[in-house]
Every structure is written in C-alpha cells, then in structure tokens.
Amino acid sequence: MTQLLTPTFPDYELIDSGDFEKLERFGAYITRRPEPQAIWHKSLSENKWRELAHASFMRTSSSKSDERGEWQRKAEMPDRWTMEYRYKKMHLTMRLGLTSFKHVGIFPEQAANWNFIYDRIEALKADGSTPKVLNLFAYTGGATLAARAAGADVTHVDSVKQVVTWSRENMERSGLEGVRWIVEDALKFVNREVRRGNRYDGIILDPPAYGRGANGEKWVLEENIGEMLECCAKLLNLEKGFLVLNLYSMGLSALLSRTALRQAFGNTGKEEAGELYFCDRNGKELPLGTFCRFSRL
C-alpha cells in the first residue's frame, strides 16, 4: 500500500503553494521558490507573498525545468543562517544558504527518512555491534548526520567538494564527528566497494535525475539506476540491514522504485513505499518526491 509521509518539523513550514511556486519558512526566514508540482492556485495574494518573503528566487530562463537563477533579497535576509531538527536523542543543526540553483541546503521532507534511519540503527545496535552505513549522493548530509547521531559508522559520498565541505560544517554544528567523507562519483565508488568485498548494514540513495561525477562522469537516472541497485545489493548485509531510496523526478512513482528494488535485492524484508509531502496552511498537500525503503531486521 502506498504511504503518504510528512514529518513533524517545527523549524520548517510550507506557508502557501500554487501557480508553480512555494512559500516556505526555514527557521526565522521565509523564501519564495519555483515548484513545478504546485499546479493549483495560491491561497494568499501576490502582495502577501511579497510582504512575507525575505528572499525570492527568480529564474534566468522562462523554462519551468530550468532551476538556474538568482535571489532577490530584502535587507534583513542573510547569506547564511541555521535551522534545527530534533528526534528522540538526535539534535541536528543545519547551515542554510541561498544557492544559484534555488536550493537552500536542506530537503525538510527527508526528515521522515531521518527518523527511519535513526530507529533502524538503534535496532541494529541491540546486539552490541556498530552498524556501517553508506550514504550515496549525500548532498549536505541530513541522512548522514541522522545515522551518525544514532551511533553508526558512516561513509558519505558526493561528487561535489563544496557540498561535502558544507556537510562537514553541519556535522560540526551538530556536535558530531567521525564521518568518512568521499568526494567521488557514486557509481564508481560502489563498483570499487563491490570489488573490495565490503559490506554495509544500511544504504541511503538520493540520486538526481541528471548529474556529473567528480571527474565529469555522466549520471542519467533511468540509464544508471539499475547498475547502481545491483551494486548496492552486493554491498548490503544479507541477514540484516536497511535501504532507503528517494526519487525526485516527476513521473517516477513509488511503485517503480519498489519494483526495481525487488528485482535487485530479492528479499527486501519489510517494505514501505509512497510519497513525501508537506501540507500548507490552507490544506493543500504538495508532493515532494517518492520513497521506497525496506528493513531486514
């Protein structure tokens, strides 16, 4: 059965959405950004959006698929700021910033997966061992920090050095240490790990639709995800372990993810699949990606 998941995240709020935009609060500041899935109309007026937004992202192209652009900021809007997330004994502090690709350094809907990761690691630790977790396409490290906060040994892989530096800063702000940082193409890394015979108790995958590796390697989701999952199936602990797969591309469903995982992994144990979303103040539910995850515990 398809699930709909939305986390409880006091430092984040989807204020309004519509007309291919979203108005969001990250900590103390409100941003206005493009959102291709907000196909309905806004509930608040244009004047209210302008009044509330501290920073608004303006595309440099008229294409809805082009995420490049620049921010228009009010005087009180800083270049960088922080927000926090808490779950059980986990207390994360994330540094945010305005990037030229409309992102701010966090995907808050992923907090639903951070909780899952934290709980799975707590369960794995019951036998006294220290679980090993691999985070691929790891961006600024929310899932990495959740795994580390739960006590796992974590390997964080991303092809962009500046993003890995950002992740390290988030680790330090969160009072954590000991993450293994890898700046490399994710597919190249997992192939090498398979040859080495390494194993992990948890694997997290956040692949983009398109991307480039550290040395210009080309990633196309539909072309490369099969090989990636086959490698991950060889790396994941056969008896116990968990996996989380997120897909953000429009048109790719949770059913697609589940079918691909079943083919690659065979025994997936307890499965969950569905959509991540947030609801704005007027009750409009905005989908923000699909997930499929399983646990062999």
Give the model confidence (pLDDT) of 53-63 as tens digits: 999 999 876 55
Confidence check: pLDDT of 65 > 60: no
What does the pLDDT average to over 188-196? 98
Class of domain 105-295: alpha beta
Six-digit token string for 132: 């090993």
What's the pLDDT at 61?
A: 67
Q: At residue 91, what are phi and psi to the nearest 5 degrees? A: -135, 105
Q: In this structure, are residues 25 and 239 in contact, taking their beta carbons and an 8 Å threshold? A: no
Closest CA to 24 of 53, 58, 45: 53
- Label residue 66 by pLDDT band (50, 70, 90): low
Q: What is the mean pLDDT of the chain?
A: 94
Residue 165's H or E segment, with its range, is helix 161-173
Which burial class, exposed, middle or buried, applies to 64 when counting CB atoms under 10 A from its CB (0-12, 13-18, 19+)?
exposed
Q: In this structure, are residues 284 and 43 in contact, taking their beta carbons and an 8 Å threshold? A: yes
Six-digit token string for 230: 């086959």
Whole-number percent of the chain with pLDDT over 70: 97
Give the predicted TM-score (pTM) of the model: 0.95
Q: In this structure, are residues 121 and 114 in contact, taking their beta carbons and an 8 Å threshold? A: no
Tens digit of each residue's pLDDT (9 = 90 or more) over 86-125: 999 999 999 999 998 899 999 999 999 999 999 999 999 9
What's the pLDDT at 292?
A: 97
Confidence check: pLDDT of 71 > 60: yes
Which burial class, exposed, middle or buried, applies to 174 when counting CB atoms under 10 A from its CB (0-12, 13-18, 19+)?
buried
Q: Strand, coil or helix: what is 106?
A: coil
Closest CA to 247 of 229, 265, 233, 235: 229
What's the pLDDT at 64?
A: 54
Q: In this structure, are residues 287 and 254 in contact, taking their beta carbons and an 8 Å threshold? A: no
Residue whose token pair is 């709980």: 119
Residues 84 and 86: their CA atoms lie apart, in Å, by: 7
Tens digit of each residue's pLDDT (9 = 90 or more) over 123-159: 999 999 999 999 999 999 999 999 999 999 999 999 9
What does the pLDDT average to over 217-229? 93
Other Cβ atoms less than 10 A from the Cβ of 192: the count is 12
What's the pLDDT at 214?
A: 79
Closest CA to 155 of 169, 165, 141, 166: 141
Measured at the CA of 107, the angle between CA 124 and CA 224, to 5 degrees, comes to 75
Residues 195 and 216: their CA atoms lie apart, in Å, by: 22
- Label residue 249 by pLDDT band (50, 70, 90): confident
Residue 211's H or E segment, with its range, is strand 210-212
Higher pLDDT, 3 or 248: 3
Residues 60 and 195: their CA atoms lie apart, in Å, by: 44
